[in-house]
Amino acid sequence: MDKDRKEGIVVKICCVLLAFALWLYITSTQNPMVTYTIKRIPVQIKSSEVLLKNKLILQKQSGYYIDIKVQSKSSEQKAKASDFKAIIDLSGYVVKKGENKLPIQIERSPSNVSILNNGDLWLNLSIDEVIEKIVPVKINLVGKSQSGSFVKDVISNPNKIKILGPSEKVNLVDRVVGTFSVNKNTEMKESVINVIPVDASGNEVKGVNMDADSVHVSLGVNMTKEVPIKVVTKGSVSDNLKLSKLEPSISIIKIIGDEKVIKNINYIETSALDLSSISASTSKEVNLVLPTGVEILNNIKVINVNIIMDEKSTERTLSSKINIENLAPNFNAQLGKELISYKVTGSENIINGLNENDFKVYVDLSGAKEGNNMVNINIVTPQGVSLISKDFTQMNVKLMKKESEVVNDNTSK
């Protein structure tokens, strides 16, 4: 048994050695050819400047690749894409706008490989018309300015840039944009920032040229401040009127300006409102008068002022007889005073036409009893007239039974 096992192992070893020897013989004497494909070999486009003479341009300047099928001996190291140089020389062809199918030349390749598809290497080049377009520069601000400051001006130089390239792509460009970071600086800030072309949606448009890829930006940062509006008047109201109130439609506004200027401004005046031309309550438009170097946020220039007028009031002192109301029929009343003086106020037209008969002056004796009673003095004024004061507010009223009532009382006793 052990002998058979040993003989089996010897046979296997001999087979392996024989196979290895056979492989060495074949590779050293036969060396067969192998075929394989090399992918994504870059294709260089040469002499593209000749297109510009005819106002043409490649829609894509780079990013062209081909696959090459090659053959070499199996013993050779396989070639790589970097071992090849593939070109299309545009100076040797007449091209037009649109798709152009052009042959690819292999300018460099390893000497130990054969290109099997050399006669079938073509590339489609999309060629477009060259146009130019001038678009505005838009600077986007990011970050937050210092509290109380306001970015007033963003100035770029240049403020317009020329775009050159394929018509299909140039027509997509809406503007060029750059980004400026706002910091806490409250003075004029300057910087050079890069810009890119974008379409109407803000997406970058690639494959076009700009006559400038950066701009010089000046950022004007001003301070803001809230101040009240002061209504300025001129002239006087008529003698029978009194100016009761001036109510601006906006009482507080936010002004913008250099910190040195606005820190000393405590209010903004209006243009003068002529009171002599106003005969009743009304509303008038007035301009806001701004000091030099000061502006108003939201560009408010005009406000309305409500003018509230009242008739001019005057005072007058009158004297009236004190009347009695609600006296019980079986009593006589003896008033402490027969007359009272009082002061009233109202418009001149009303006050000057009044007399004591226009007022109701009385004491109310309902509930009063025999003997002395302290009662209030009541004064009712006409409409539009107000009572300011009276000589006294209370007085004594003595109630006495009538004589017939006294006799009856004695008889009953």
Q: Give pLDDT tens digits for 93-133.
A: 999 999 999 999 999 999 899 999 888 899 999 999 999 99
How many CB atoms within 10 Å of residue 159? 11
Strand partners, 257: 223, 294
Sign of CA dihedral 94, 98, 101, 106: positive
Does position 83 have pLDDT exceeding 90, yes or no? yes
* 263: confidence class by pLDDT, cuts 50, 70, 90: confident
Does position 411 have pLDDT exceeding 90, yes or no? no
Helices (H) and strands (E) in the chain, counts: 6, 32
Return the SS3 of 10.
Answer: helix
Does position 220 have pLDDT exceeding 90, yes or no? no
Whether 101 contacts 93, CB under 8 Å: no
- Mean pLDDT in residue range 150-165: 82
Write out the two tokens for 195.
């810009």
CA distance 202 to 50: 33
Lowest mean pLDDT across 5-9, 298-302, 399-403: 5-9
What's CA 50's distance to the chain center, in Å?
50
Whether 164 contacts 211, CB under 8 Å: yes
Q: What is the pTM of this model?
A: 0.47
Integer-rounded Cα Rg, in Å, for the chain is 54
pLDDT of residue 183: 64
Q: Over the chain, what is the mean pLDDT? A: 86
277 or 323, which is more confident? 323
- Mean pLDDT in residue range 391-399: 94
Exposure string of 169-205, with b = 16+ CB inside 10 Å and e = fewer, is bbebbbbbbbebebeeebeebeeebebebbeeeeeeb
pLDDT of residue 155: 75
Q: What's 204's DSSP letter?
A: B
- Mean pLDDT in residue range 289-301: 86
Does position 185 have pLDDT exceeding 60, yes or no? no
* 186: confidence class by pLDDT, cuts 50, 70, 90: very low
Residue 310: name the closest of 350, 342, 274, 343 by CA: 350
- Mean pLDDT in residue range 377-403: 93
Does position 242 have pLDDT exceeding 60, yes or no? yes
Write out the two tokens for 318.
């009158």
Return the SS3 of 126.
Answer: strand
Q: What domains sit in the chain, N to C, each tagged with a CATH number? A: 33-120 (2.170.120), 130-222 (2.170.120.40), 231-311 (2.170.120.40), 314-401 (2.170.120.30)
384 or 161, which is more confident? 161
Whether 383 contacts 389, CB under 8 Å: no
pLDDT of residue 349: 80
DSSP string, 217-251: EEEEEEEEEEEEEE--EES---TTEEEEEEEES--
pLDDT of residue 23: 61
- Mean pLDDT in residue range 182-200: 77
Q: Which amino acid is at 178?
A: G
Most confident of 1-10, 130-139, 305-314: 130-139
For residue 304, which phi and psi values (nearest 5 degrees)? -100, 145
Does position 88 have pLDDT exceeding 90, yes or no? yes
Q: Which amino acid is at 135?
A: V
How many CB atoms within 10 Å of residue 86? 21
